[in-house]
Amino acid sequence: MSKHLRPNTAQNSSKQSVERSLSDEFASDLVCGRFSSWTTVMASDYDGEQRRIPLRLRSEWSDVTPVPQDDGPNPVVPIAYTEEFTEVMDYFRAVYFADERSPRALSLTTEAINFNAGNYTVWHFRRLLLESLKADLHSELEFLEDIAKGNSKNYQIWHHRRWVAEKLGPQATNRELEFTKTILSMDAKHYHAWSHRQWVLQALGGWEAELDYCGELLEEDIFNNSAWNQRYFVITRSPILGGLKALRESEVHYTVEAIMVHPENESPWRYLRGLYKGDTSSWVNDPQVASVCLKVLHSKNNHVFALSTLLDLICHGFQPNQEFRDAVDALKTSDFDKQDPDLAGNVCSILERVDPIRANYWVWRKSILSQAA
Amino acid sequence: MDPAKGSSPTVTQRDQWMVESQVYDIYHLFATIPPNAQSVMLELLRDRHMEFLIKGLTHLGSAFCVLDANRPWLCYWILHSIALLGESVDDEMETNAIDFLNRCQDPNGGYGGGPGQMPHLATTYAAINALITLGGEKSLASINRDKLSNFLRRMKQPSGGFRMHDEGEIDVRACYTAISVASVLNILDDELIQNVGDYIVSCQTYEGGIAGEPGSEAHGGYTYCGLATMILINKVNRLDLPRLLEWVVFRQGKECGFQGRTNKLVDGCYSFWQGGVVALLQKLCFVINKQMASPDSQEESLDGTSYDESCRSGQTDSSNSYPVDFNNIGYRFIKECGAEEHLFHSIALQQYILLCSQEQEGGLRDKPGKRRDFYHTCYCLSGLSLCQYSWSKYPDSPPLPKAVLGPYSNLLEPTHPLFNVVIERYYEAHEFFSKL
C-alpha cells in the first residue's frame, strides 16, 4: 500500500468499539456492512512522519472538484466524519458520479474501502473499474486478504471475493479453500467464510479433502455445529462420494459415537435426524436410532435429546418395546404422576420437568398427542 | 472421537461456560436481594434509553464512519426503539428525518445507505419502516411507490431470490426485505412472488431452521426472514413447520435468552429474531397441527395449502385458484386467527433482556461484557415487546400483569411480528396505502 493510504489513527480506539459491538452475528448479516479494517492493517507499520497526504494536495487530483455529501441543512443521525473520511468520500462521489473508469479512481476506492469496508456503492464501482481496466485479479485477492485481516464479518468483502473468484475460475480453487481455512482457523463458525467455501466447492470444485476437513474440525471441537452442517453439505452434495444413502451407514456410526461421548451435544442429534431427511420410515425403523436413545436413557444423564427423539419416533409410528417403557419409567420421580398409560405422554411429562425452559412446548406437544388419539 | 477428549473442554464448551457463569452471577445476585430491590433491578430504564436514543439521532461520533452506509438503519433502530417506548420525536426532528431519508431515496427507486449511495434492499426496508414509524401524511407520501416497485422488480431473480442491490448478493434477507416492503406498501403481486417460495424452501436445513443460502447453516436472523416472507406470500405451509418449531424452541437456553444457531452463544438481538419466529409460529398452530397429523405427507410434497385458506375454511384445499389479496395478509395475520398456543418461555426471555441486556447508562446489548449499540437496543426492545404480548389473543389488547415481568410500567407498545413496526403505526400505513 502506498504512503497515501496512511490514516490519522486518533479515532481508532472508539471506532474499534463500534466495530466490536456490531461484530456479532446477524448484525453483520442483516445490515449492509459495518467496519473498517484500518486499525489492524495499519497499526503495525504506522509511522507518524509518513502521514497520509490529503487528496487536495496531490497533483494527480488537481483537476477534480470534490462533491460534498447532500446531507441537507439538518440531517438526522449525523456522523462527525473525520476530515480525511469526508475528503475521500467527496472525491469518490466526484469520480463515481462522473463514472470515471481510471486507475486513479481504482486507487481511490482502495482508500475509501480502507475507511469504511461496508460501503457497498464503493465496492460496486470498484468492480466496474476492475472490469474496465482489466486489472490483475490476483492482486485483488491480496487486497481482500488485507482488508479481511481486520474484521472479516462484512458482507461486501465476501461478495466481492466471490465475484473475483468466479472471474478467475478453477485456478482460484485452492487459494479460496486455503483462505477460508485460515479464517475458520480463527473463528470456526464464521458464517460468511462457510458460505464462501460452499460456493467455491460448488462452483469451482475441490471436494476431495472436504470430508476429512470436516472430520478434523469436529475432532477439535465436536460441538462445532457449523462443521456438522458442512459435513451434511458434503455428504449430500459432493459429486464424488455417492450421496446420502450410500454414506448413511457409516455416517450413522460416526454420529452415534459422537452422541455417546457427549449426549448433551445437540449437533449430532440433529445431524442424525438429518441423515434420514425425506425418508422417515428408514429413520423410524433403523434400530441404531432407537438404540442410541435407549443407551442414553439408561445412563439417566443428559437425556433431553434422547427423550425428544423418542417422542418424535413414536409420533412417526415407532413401536416401543418394554425396554423403552422401563427406561422411561425409571426417569420418573416419586412425586410425579404415574397415571399416564401412554408412553409418549410420559415422555412429554418428564421433559416438562427436566427441560423447564421448554415446559410450554412440551405441554403443547402433549396436548397434540391427545388430539391425535 | 476419543472419549478421553471429553475431559478437556472444546472452544465451544469454554465460551459457553464463561457466558453461563457471567449470566448466573447476575441471576444469583438477583435471587439473593430483597423483593423491592428485585423490582428495581427488573425495571426498564425508560428515561436512560430515551436519552441514549435521542442523542444518537442528533449526534454520532466519528467512530460511526464505519456505519456510513447504514444510516437508514440507524434511523429505523432508533425511531422504532423510541416508538416501542411509547414516545415520539418532536416536530422538527420528524421533519428532519423525513427530509434526510428522502435524500437517501434514489431517483430510480429504493433507498441507499446515505445520500448519493446506490439503492439497497436492506436500507430500503429500514427507510420504509422508519417512515412508517414516523407516520403522518408527509412521511408516508414521501415514498415513491412506483419507482420503488421498479427497483424491487429489478432486484428479482428468476430463481425466486432477490439481489440486495444491482449486481449484489442473493439471499433470504433480500427476499424478506423486498417482500416486506412490497406488502406494507400495497404493491405485492404475483409477479414479485414468483418462485420466492421455492427459494426459501431450498434454504430450510436438515436442522429445521432456515439458512441465508441453500446449504448454509440454520440461523435465527434468516429463519425469521424466511418464515415472515413465506407468511406474507401465503406459502407458509410449504415449510416443514413442526421441524422449524422444534428447532427454534431449542434455541432458548439455560441463560434464558436465545442463541442464533445450535451450540452458539446467547445474544439479546435474537430475542426478536428467534422470539419473532416463535411469535409467528404461535399463530400458525392450526397449520402446524395439520402437518403433524399427517407427518409423512411432507415427503411427497406439501400440498400448497396456504395459511390464509386454512385459517378461513379450516379445510385442506390445494387449489390456489382464486386470487389472494396479498396486501391484506399482514393485516389479517394480526386481526384474525386469534387462537394460539404459548410455546416458549417468555418470562425467562424478559428476565434475560432486563437483567443481562440492559445497560445501567441506557441502551441494550448482546450480553454482559458487551457494549450497548442501537442495533441491539432495537432488537432487545422488539423482543421484549413480543414477550409481553405473547399471551394476548390480539396484539392490541393490553396484556395481563402476569405476562409482564417487572413493574407493569415496563409495558412497551406492541409491534407487528411480520414487519416489526409498532402496530398502531402499521395500521395507519396500511390504511394510507390501501387507498392508493
The ipTM assigned to this model is 0.94
For the ranges A349-358, B170-179, B199-208, B307-316, which has the lowest average pLDDT?
B307-316
Across the interface, of B69, B205, B295, the residue whose CB is closest to A32 is: B69
**pLDDT of A289 higher than 80:** yes
- Which of B111, B125, B270, B331 is the catalytic position? B270
> Which stretch of DSSP H or E encloses residue B350?
helix B346-351
A24 and B366: CB-CB below 8 Å?
yes
Mean pLDDT (chain B) is: 92
Collapsed DSSP state (helix, strand, coil) of residue B96: helix
**Predicted confidence (pLDDT) per residue in A116-153, tens digit:** 999 999 999 999 999 999 999 999 999 999 999 888 88
Give the per-residue pLDDT at B244: 98
Q: Are A205 and A170 in contact (CB under 8 A)?
A: yes
User: Using CB atoms and an 8 Å cut-off, which of residues 156-185 of chain B contact chain A?
Assistant: 164-169, 173
For residue A80, give the nearest of A314, B217, A71 by alpha carbon.
Answer: A71
DSSP string, B206-227: TTSSB-SSTTS---HHHHHHHH
**Angle at the Cα of B377 (from B374 to B380), degrees rounded to 5?**
145
Q: Are B235 and B188 in contact (CB under 8 A)?
A: no
B376 is catalytic: yes
A316 and B295: CB-CB below 8 Å?
yes
User: Using CB atoms and an 8 Å cut-off, which of residues 124-163 of chain B contact chain A?
Assistant: none
Spell out the residues 6+ positions from residue A117 whose beta carbon is closer than 8 angstroms to its own.
Answer: A33, A35, A36, A37, A147, A150, A151, A154, A156, A157, B66
A358 and B165: CB-CB below 8 Å?
no
Q: Return the active site residues of A.
A: 153
Measured between beta carbons, the chain B residues lying within 8 angstroms of A74 are 92, 96, 99
Give the per-residue pLDDT at B184: 97
Written as nine digits, the cell of A307 is 427423550
Measured between beta carbons, the chain A residues lying within 8 angstroms of B345 are 356-360
Measured between beta carbons, the chain B residues lying within 8 angstroms of A189 are 261, 264
Which chain B residue is nearest to residue A162, measuring alpha carbons?
B169
Question: For chains A and B, what is the number of CB pairs under 8 angstroms?
Answer: 307
B264 and A25: CB-CB below 8 Å?
yes
Which residue's C-alpha cell is 462527525? A80
Which chain A residue is nearest to residue B368, measuring alpha carbons?
A21
For the ranges A179-193, A250-264, B339-353, which has the lowest average pLDDT?
B339-353
**pLDDT of B407 higher than 80:** yes
Helix axes B374-388, B46-58, angle to 10 degrees: 140
- Which of B80, B145, B156, B219 is the catalytic position? B219
pTM: 0.93
Q: Which residue has the higher pLDDT, B231 or A19?
A: B231
B212 vs A: CB within 8 A: yes
A85 and B116: CB-CB below 8 Å?
no
Measured between beta carbons, the chain B residues lying within 8 angstroms of A29 are 173, 212, 219, 221-222
Residues facing residue A257 across a β-bridge: none
- Could you say which DSSP state residue B39 is in? H
**Predicted confidence (pLDDT) per residue in B173-230, tens digit:** 999 999 999 999 999 999 999 999 999 999 999 999 999 999 999 999 999 999 999 9
